Amino acid sequence: MIGVIPLYDLNWDDEEERAVLEVLRSRWVSMGPKTEEYERALARLYGVEYALGTSSGTAALLLAYLSLDLKGGEVILPSLTFVATANALLFAGAKPVFADIDSPTLPLISASTVEPLITERTRAVVFVNYAGYGDTLPELKALCEERGLLLVEDASHAHGVAYPEGMAGTFGEVAAFSTFANKNLSTGEGGYLITRDEEIYRRAKLLRSHGMTSSSWERLKGEEEFYDVVAVGLNLRPSEIQAAIGLANLKKLPHENGRRAELVRLYRRLLAEEIPDVVVPFPEDSPSAHYIFPILLPEGTDRGTVRRRMREMGVYTSIHYPPVHRFRTYESGLTLPNTEDYASRTLTLPLWGGMGTERVLRVVEVLKAALG
Ligand SMILES: Cc1ncc(COP(=O)(O)O)c(C=O)c1O
């Protein structure tokens, strides 16, 4: 019996349980040795000098933006993203400038959608590796280099993916990742940033904990006796429990990403055979972490009815994303035709590493029935 098919499920098991118990029994539960170990493992995975654990992906974005000192500048980003990418920019004092996606079948910002928005006030471009893809990253990196702009990746969807030109998260000055419950690497709540730049790392680390020059753990170990406060920071630290879950879950990431890629191949084949009117964005062979599996419904489809019918048949769906430039807080009369077309027709089907082929078959069958 397949039963209800949720949008995602965790891959946690005894390993995460053991990791949490170990921390609880050690009686050191705030940021400390597990966080340091987690950060070393993350830096190794991406082949970068520095990784910094944070309390959330939003915290990692805020620290990335603050450490680049974007205050007062314009920053170009997609509207097709989770609102945190833009909210953190406002908190960092920058002005978000929304770029359109390249096309509904390549829903990423690209050099051709970003370049016309560059002004003398532009400081940075934020690339979101939507659904795990990075197809336009190399051209955006080249554009940023040519125009003297900083490049940030919001790589929350792209844990541990190798693109032909490098690992996700390593194209710009700094990258932020979310490890929220439904991500390929999951700690429930949490995040991290990675960088090769010592100064960005040093600033982000200071601001993560009140601008203090040492942590409780470092003072306990006797590495520092006192602390000074040299910047106005916040508490954006991860706990040892998050870090321990992250360390356990990180071991599963290659398998998780691999399974997702296989399931997406199956989805693509079945959809092409069974419902050829449905469009699957992105080139079939592009590398991705496959964080989500978004499709485009045929034009004129009543998406609300399709979602309700699917739910009644036990299949949950979602929408990634309502465009940020249309939220009341961001509304300015701007139109982004491709983003709006994509956002009005997209539907996210269930996907997680342990989903299994039977459930993929069932989702396609239910979608076909719901489309009538
Ligand atoms: C693209 C993107 N950016 C930022 C975030 C925010 O991360 P968090 O929820 O961990 O703060 C998310 C997570 O949902 C995301 O998907």
Q: 132-154: per-residue pLDDT in tens?
A: 999 999 999 999 999 999 999 99
* Nearest-angstrom CA–CA distance, 281 and 107: 7
Residues 303-316 pLDDT 10s: 999 999 999 999 99
Q: pLDDT averaged over the chain?
A: 97
Nearest C-alpha neighbor of 175 from the set 167, 186, 183? 167
User: Over the stretch 282-309, which tens digit does the pLDDT of each residue have?
Assistant: 999 999 999 999 999 999 999 999 999 9
The CATH class that applies to domain 14-100+107-250 reads: alpha beta
Q: What is the pLDDT of residues 184-212, one digit of tens each?
A: 999 999 999 999 999 999 999 999 999 99
Is the model's pLDDT at 358 over the cut of 90?
A: yes
Residue with tokens 């429990």: 241
Ligand 1 center–CA 309 separation, angstroms: 29
Alpha helices in the chain (DSSP H): 14-26, 33-46, 57-67, 84-91, 111-114, 137-147, 198-208, 216-220, 240-250, 253-274, 303-312, 337-345, 357-371
DSSP three-state, residue 229: strand
- Per-residue pLDDT averaged across 155-175, rounded? 98
**Any bridge partners for residue 295, and if so which?**
347
On the question of pLDDT at 90 being above 90, the answer is yes
* Ligand 1 center from residue 188 Cα (angstroms): 12
Q: Is 187 in the pocket of ligand 1 (CB under 6 A)?
A: no
Distance (Å, whole) CA 235 – CA 55:
8
Q: 82 CB under 6 A from ligand 1? A: yes
Tell me if the bond preceding 330 is cis, omega within 30° of 0: no
Q: How far apart (Å, rounded) are the C-alpha atoms in residues 84 and 330? A: 12
Residue 274 pLDDT grade (very low, low, confident, very high; cuts 50, 70, 90): very high
* Ligand 1 site, residue 85, Cβ cutoff 6 A: yes
Contacts of 75 (CB under 8 A, 6+ apart): 65, 89, 94, 95, 96, 97, 122, 123, 124, 125, 126
CATH code 3.40.640.10 region(s) in the chain: 14-100+107-250
Q: Do the bridges between strand 162-163 and strand 166-167 make them parallel or antiparallel, or are there none, so unpaired?
A: antiparallel
* pLDDT at residue 60 in the model: 99
In this prediction, residue 212 carries a pLDDT of: 95
The CATH number assigned to the domain with range 253-371 reads 3.90.1150.10
Looking at the chain, the domain(s) classified CATH 3.90.1150.10 span 253-371
Say if residues 149 and 123 touch (Cβ distance below 8 Å): yes
